[in-house]
Structure 1
Amino acid sequence: MTAQAPRAVVVGGGIAGLAGAALLARDGYAVDLLEQRGELGGRAGSWSAGGFRFDTGPSWYLMPEVFDHFFRQLGTSAAEQLDLVPLDPAYRVFFEGQAEPVDIVADAAANVATFERLEPGAGAQLERYLASARRTYDLALDRFLYTSFTSVRPFLAPEVLRHAHRLAPLLLRPLEDLAAAHVTDPRLRQILGYPAVFLGSSPDRAPSMYHLMSALDLTGGVLYPRGGFARLIEVVAALATARGARLHTGCTATAITTRAGDGRPRVAGVRYTGPTGDELELGADVVVGAADLHHVETALLPPWLRTYPQEWWDRRTSGPGAVLVLLGVRGRLPGLAHHSLFFTRDWRANFDAVFGGRVPAPASAYVCKPSATDPSVAPPGDENLFVLVPVPADVGIGGGGIAGRGGPVVEAIADAAIDQIADWAGVPDLRERVVVRRTIGPADFAAGLNAWRGGMLGPAHTLRQSAMFRAGNASRKVAGLYYAGSSTIPGVGLPMCLISAEIMAARVRAATRPPAARAVVAR
C-alpha cells in the first residue's frame, strides 16, 4: 500500500464491517477497522466452555448465491473458503398440542407430499406458492437487493415492468394473508409464515413480498458451514487482512470527526479509545459506519450532522429482542434436528406480545443443535444447543449470565424454554443433563453491540422499513461517510449484510474512484 493510498476507517467488526474492509482494501484503500470488543464478529460471535463451542448469533446459511457473489468479488468462492453441508431435514417443526413434529426436507417434491398429507389439495397450492416465491426471489436478487435506490432505473427495467402487476399487491398484502390464501391448516400457515421472523418482523406485519424466502428453505436451500458461523467470520477477516486491511480489536470509536468541505462537511477521521485506554485518532478520506446505525448516528456525530437523528428512530419499529440460551448437554438428543422450531398454537397472540412490549407465555422458540452436523462443537456423545426465544426489544428485560446467574427475568424465560423443549421433544430429563449454561438478554445486546433498544436484529422489515424506505447507505450531511449493516438497505441477516457492504463499496467507488482500484467482478 503506497503512502498516497486513500484512507478508510471502518467502525464495527461484524460481518458487514469485515466484508466492507475487504472490498475497500481490494479497491486500493488503506483500511483500518475498529472493533470495540475483544473479538471480531459482532452479532455472529462465538463462546466456548467445558468442551462446547457455541455460535452466539446467526445459525442459518440461506441465500447461497449472495455468499458466492461476495466471494467472487475477492477472487475466490464459497466452495474454496467454506465446507458447506446440506441439511436434511432442513428443519423440524414442533406444534403446541400436536404429538408429531413435521420435517421439512431437502427435496421440494417431498415437501409438497408432506403438505398434501396434512391437508388435501395443499400440495398443489404449495407448488404454486413456491413458483411465485422463486420468481420473486430471482427478481429481487437481480434488480433490487444490490441497489442503493438512488435512481429509478431498477424500477424501469422491462423485466420489472412486466411483473409490476404482481409486485404491488405483494408489497401491500401481509405475508400472513398470502399464506392463508394457499393453505388452511394452521401448521402449514405457520411453516409458510415463519420466515418473517428472519426479517425481524411477524407474518401479519411483513409484506408478502417476503414469501420469496420460501424459495430457499422449502427447496433444499439450507446449508451449514463446518466450524459454524465463527468459521465464516474467520474467513472474511482473513480475506480482508490478506488484502492489507488492519483489523483492530479492543478499540472503541468515540467520534467521527469532520472538516470543511465543498458545500457540506467531509469526514476527517475517527477518534477512538485504544486497548490501553489511550485517546487516539485515525485520519480518513472515507469512514464506514458498520456498527449499529442508531449508535453511529446518535453517539458518534453531533446533532447537526445526523441524517437519522433520534426523532427519526422514535418513529421506527424495532425487530424483536431475544433471550439466547446456550446449553451443553450430556448424551444425545435424537428428537431434535439441526434446526428445530417450536410454534405456539396462538401465534398471533405470541407476536402481538413481542411487538407490544410483553414477554409471551408460552413463547415460540427456535433451537439449533449444530452437534447434529458438526462434531467439533461438543465433546463426543454430547450435544450443543442454541435456544432463541423472541422477546420485546427492551433492555429492561435484563441481561444474562453463566450457570443461571443472569437477571431473573432472563433466567425465568430460559427455564421455561428448557422445560418446553423437554416436554415437546420428549426429553424429560433435559434439565438434569445440562452441564454448561449461559444466557444472553436484550441488555447484553445493548451493552456489547450498542444495539438499538437491545434488539437482536435491527429495524423490523415492515413495509415502511423495507427496500427504498429503509435507511440508506450514505450520510446526507457528511461527505465521505457511508453505512453498512443490518440497519441499512437491504436489511437484516448475514446475506443482506454482505450485500450492504457491496452496495457501500460500489457507492464509494462511484464517488471517489480511487487510483489503485482493481477490476470488479460483475454479477
Structure 2
Amino acid sequence: MKKKITIIGSGFSALSASCYLAKSGHEVSVFEKNASIGGRARQLKKDGFTFDMGPSWYWMPDVFDRFFADFGKKTSDYYELIKLSPAYRVYFGENEFIAIADNLEEIEATFESIEKGSGKVLNKFITEAKSNYDIAIKDLVYRPGVLALELVTVETTKKIGQFFSNISRDVRKKFKNERLIQILEFPVLFLGAKPSDTPSFYSFMNYADFGLGTWHPKTGMFDVVHAMESLARELGVVFHTDSNIEKIIVENKSAKAIIVNGQTIFSDIVLSGADYHHTETLLDIEHRVYSEQYWNSRVFAPSSLLFYVGFNKKIENISHHALFFDVDFYQHAKDIYDAPQWPKDPLFYANFPSLTDKTAAPEGMESGFFLIPLAPGINDTEDLREEYFNKIISRFEVLTQQSIKNNIIFKISFCKNDFVQEYNSYKGNAYGMANTLMQTAFLRPKLKSKKVNNLYFTGQLTVPGPGVPPALISGKLVSDLINKQFLEQ
C-alpha cells in the first residue's frame, strides 16, 4: 500500500532509508535543514580546494556493495574506488612511523620486524576477527534491535566469552609491543569508546582494517552521498533543502505532520534521520520516550575539533591518512571519557586527499584535514581552537620534518558548537552513541517510537550504531520495519 513518507535529515541513514522506501512504492520526501544534502558528510569547497567535512575513511566496502546490489546496481555504476597503499601511517616520533600496507601479508611482515613472533600471532588474530566480521556485519547488524534474542545464534553462543572481555585486554594478551597494541586498538575508536570498554567481539574492526583494506572514492566520500542521492532521485525521492523542522505534530498518539519553515506538511509516516535527542524535542514532552536523564547517562562518542586547511605547496613525508600517536594514547582517552577536559597533549589525525585526488587542490598545492577527538559537551571557544591548531601544527612540522605554517592560505575550523548548530547534535558529539556492551543492539534507542505511532528513527544514535556502513544498514532496517507495519495492517 503506497504511503506518503516524510524523512527528516539527509545523512547516510536517511538517504539509505529514502531509497529502500521509494523502491517499495512509497511517496518519499526528504527535508534537510542545511543548504546541501549529506548531513555530516557534506562537502566544503573554497578557492579551488575541496574537503569532505565529515567521514573520510571508506571501510567495509562489502556493505556499500550490498546496499547498491539491493537496487540492482554496483558501486562502480556511480563512483570509482581506489585502494590506498599504504592504507595509512601511524607516527610515533620524529620521522618515525609505521606504515600499514594494503595487504595482510605485508602487515604481518611489518609486525614481525617490530616484535618477533607477532606475525603469526597477528595472522591468527585476524582469522578470528574475520570470523567475528562474518557473524556481525553479514548477519547480526542486519537485525532491528527489537529483541535481546536477536543476538543469540549458534555462532554467537560459541563466542560468548568475547562479549565479557574487551579489546584492550585481548590484544595485550597476544602482543607486547606498545606501538603494535595501539595500532590494533585504534580501529575500535570508530565505535566511539575506549578499547578497554569495547567487547572483544568487536575485533571485527581489525579485519575491516587489515583484511579488507582502506579505500577512497576517486573524488572523496561525497561521491557516495552523490551516488545515493542520484539513486534516490531515480526512484522518485523528492529533496527539500534549507528546510528546518520546527515541530512534529501528533494527533491521537500518531505522527500526522511536520512543520517546516512555518508550513505544515502532512504524511502517513514521519522518519527522522536527524539527531535522535533533538528529534524528540520536536515532540510535546508527553510523547517523548527518552528523558534528559536518560541521554545524560549514555556514553557518547567523542566530539571533534576539525580544521580544513589549504596549503600553497605540496606536503612531504606524509600519506593520505595519518595518525599521530607521539603522545600518551591513554591519557587522551581519559580526557575524553573519564574526566572530560581539553587534552594537554592531544592525539590527532590528518588527511591529505589531494595526494590521491588531484581535483582536491589546485596544482602544486595541498588540501589538509586535521582532527582532534574531544569530549562531547566540552567548552568550545575560538581561542581554544587557535591554541590547539598551533599545538598540532607545531608537532606536525617536527614529526614530518618540514615547515608548513607559513604555507597556509586559509584554515576553517569546526568544533562542538558547530556540531550543535549545524546538525543539532547532542552535546556536539561527532559520531553518535558509543557501542559499549550496555549500548549494543536492543539496548540502544529504538528504531520505532514506543509512544507515537507512525514515528520512526534511523542513524547513529539507534541501531546498529556509529559509522557510515552502519548508517546504510540502519536505513534498511527502519525501512523493513515500516513496510512490516503496513503488511500487518
Same-fold call, TM cutoff 0.5: yes
Equivalent pair of 1:87/1:222 in contact (CA under 8 Å): yes
In 2, Cα distance between the equivalents of 1:292 and 1:388? 21
Residue 423 of structure 1 corresponds to 398
Q: Are 2:229 and 1:246 equivalent residues in the alignment?
A: no
Equivalent pair of 1:194/1:202 in contact (CA under 8 Å): no
Candidates 232, 245, 248, aligned match of 2:224? 232
Letter of the structure 1 residue corresponding to residue 104 of structure 2: A
In 2, Cα distance between the equivalents of 1:132 and 1:219? 11
Equivalent pair of 1:293/1:487 in contact (CA under 8 Å): yes
1:220 Cα deviation from its structure 2 partner:
4.5
In 2, Cα distance between the equivalents of 1:367 and 1:492? 20
Unaligned runs of at least 5 residues, structure 1: 274-278, 399-406, 516-523
Candidates 23, 47, 51, aligned match of 1:50? 47
Q: Are 2:104 and 1:108 equivalent residues in the alignment?
A: yes
Candidates 95, 98, 117, aligned match of 2:113? 117
In 1, Cα distance between the equivalents of 2:271 and 2:149? 26
Name the SS for the 2:67 alignment partner. helix
In 1, Cα distance between the equivalents of 2:376 and 2:153? 39
1:151 Cα deviation from its structure 2 partner:
4.2
Q: Are 2:142 and 1:146 equivalent residues in the alignment?
A: yes
Name the SS for the 1:70 alignment partner. helix
With over 3 angstroms needed to count, the CA separation of the structure-2 counterparts of 1:178 and 1:281, relative to structure 1, is: same
In 2, Cα distance between the equivalents of 1:456 and 1:431? 27
Aligned residues: 488
In 2, Cα distance between the equivalents of 1:80 and 1:292? 31
Letter of the structure 2 residue corresponding to residue 238 of structure 1: S
Equivalent pair of 1:395/1:443 in contact (CA under 8 Å): no
Letter of the structure 2 residue corresponding to residue 420 of structure 1: R
Residue 510 of structure 1 corresponds to 484
Residue 60 of structure 2 corresponds to 63
Letter of the structure 2 residue corresponding to residue 475 of structure 1: S
- 1:59-89 Cα shifts (integer Å, max 9, x gaps): 0111111111111122211121210000010
Name the SS for the 1:218 alignment partner. helix
In 1, Cα distance between the equivalents of 2:66 and 2:476? 10
- 1:360-407 Cα shifts (integer Å, max 9, x gaps): 121111111111111010011211111110111125223xxxxxxxx1
Residue 275 of structure 2 corresponds to 292
In 1, Cα distance between the equivalents of 2:37 and 2:152? 40
Equivalent pair of 2:327/2:347 in contact (CA under 8 Å): no
Equivalent pair of 1:21/1:245 in contact (CA under 8 Å): yes
Q: Percent identity?
A: 28
Name the SS for the 2:120 alignment partner. helix
Residue 480 of structure 1 corresponds to 454
Candidates 254, 257, 271, aligned match of 2:259? 271
Residue 498 of structure 1 corresponds to 472
Equivalent pair of 1:15/1:494 in contact (CA under 8 Å): yes
Letter of the structure 2 residue corresponding to residue 37 of structure 1: N
In 2, Cα distance between the equivalents of 1:152 and 1:207? 17
Q: For 1:359-398, list aligned pairs within 5 A.
A: 359-398=342-381
In 1, Cα distance between the equivalents of 2:295 and 2:437? 16
Q: Are 2:237 and 1:208 equivalent residues in the alignment?
A: no
In 2, Cα distance between the equivalents of 1:417 and 1:336? 15
Letter of the structure 2 residue corresponding to residue 57 of structure 1: G
In 1, Cα distance between the equivalents of 2:204 and 2:343? 28
Letter of the structure 2 residue corresponding to residue 374 of structure 1: D
Unaligned runs of at least 5 residues, structure 2: none
In 2, Cα distance between the equivalents of 1:214 and 1:457? 19
Residue 414 of structure 2 corresponds to 440
Q: Are 2:168 and 1:171 equivalent residues in the alignment?
A: no
1:412 Cα deviation from its structure 2 partner:
1.1
Equivalent pair of 1:201/1:319 in contact (CA under 8 Å): yes
- 1:85-121 Cα shifts (integer Å, max 9, x gaps): 00010010101x4652110011101100100100001
In 2, Cα distance between the equivalents of 1:52 and 1:201? 33
Equivalent pair of 1:323/1:414 in contact (CA under 8 Å): no
In 1, Cα distance between the equivalents of 2:149 and 2:188? 28
Name the SS for the 1:386 alignment partner. strand
Equivalent pair of 1:87/1:224 in contact (CA under 8 Å): yes
Letter of the structure 2 residue corresponding to residue 418 of structure 1: I
Q: Are 2:129 and 1:133 equivalent residues in the alignment?
A: yes
Name the SS for the 2:367 alignment partner. strand
With over 3 angstroms needed to count, the CA separation of the structure-2 counterparts of 1:151 and 1:464, relative to structure 1, is: closer
Stretches of 4+ moved more than 3 A in 1? 151-158
Equivalent pair of 1:32/1:248 in contact (CA under 8 Å): yes
Q: Are 2:75 and 1:83 equivalent residues in the alignment?
A: no
Candidates 7, 13, 30, aligned match of 2:4? 7
Equivalent pair of 1:414/1:439 in contact (CA under 8 Å): no
Name the SS for the 1:282 alignment partner. strand
TM-score by length of 1: 0.91
1:32 Cα deviation from its structure 2 partner:
1.1
In 2, Cα distance between the equivalents of 1:387 and 1:290? 27
Name the SS for the 1:43 alignment partner. helix
In 2, Cα distance between the equivalents of 1:205 and 1:345? 21
Letter of the structure 2 residue corresponding to residue 425 of structure 1: T
With over 3 angstroms needed to count, the CA separation of the structure-2 counterparts of 1:112 and 1:411, relative to structure 1, is: same
In 2, Cα distance between the equivalents of 1:153 and 1:345? 42
Q: Are 2:304 and 1:322 equivalent residues in the alignment?
A: yes
In 2, Cα distance between the equivalents of 1:496 and 1:119? 34
1:153 Cα deviation from its structure 2 partner:
5.7
Residue 283 of structure 1 corresponds to 266
In 2, Cα distance between the equivalents of 1:319 and 1:46? 22
Equivalent pair of 1:344/1:362 in contact (CA under 8 Å): no
With over 3 angstroms needed to count, the CA separation of the structure-2 counterparts of 1:391 and 1:151, relative to structure 1, is: closer
Candidates 387, 395, 400, aligned match of 1:412? 387
| Coordinate RMSD, CA, aligned | 1.6
Q: For 1:333-372, list aligned pairs within 5 A.
A: 333-355=315-337, 356-372=339-355
Equivalent pair of 2:96/2:399 in contact (CA under 8 Å): no
In 2, Cα distance between the equivalents of 1:107 and 1:45? 30
Name the SS for the 2:142 alignment partner. coil
In 2, Cα distance between the equivalents of 1:153 and 1:184? 37
TM-score by length of 2: 0.97
Candidates 190, 211, 214, aligned match of 1:219? 211
Residue 521 of structure 1 corresponds to none
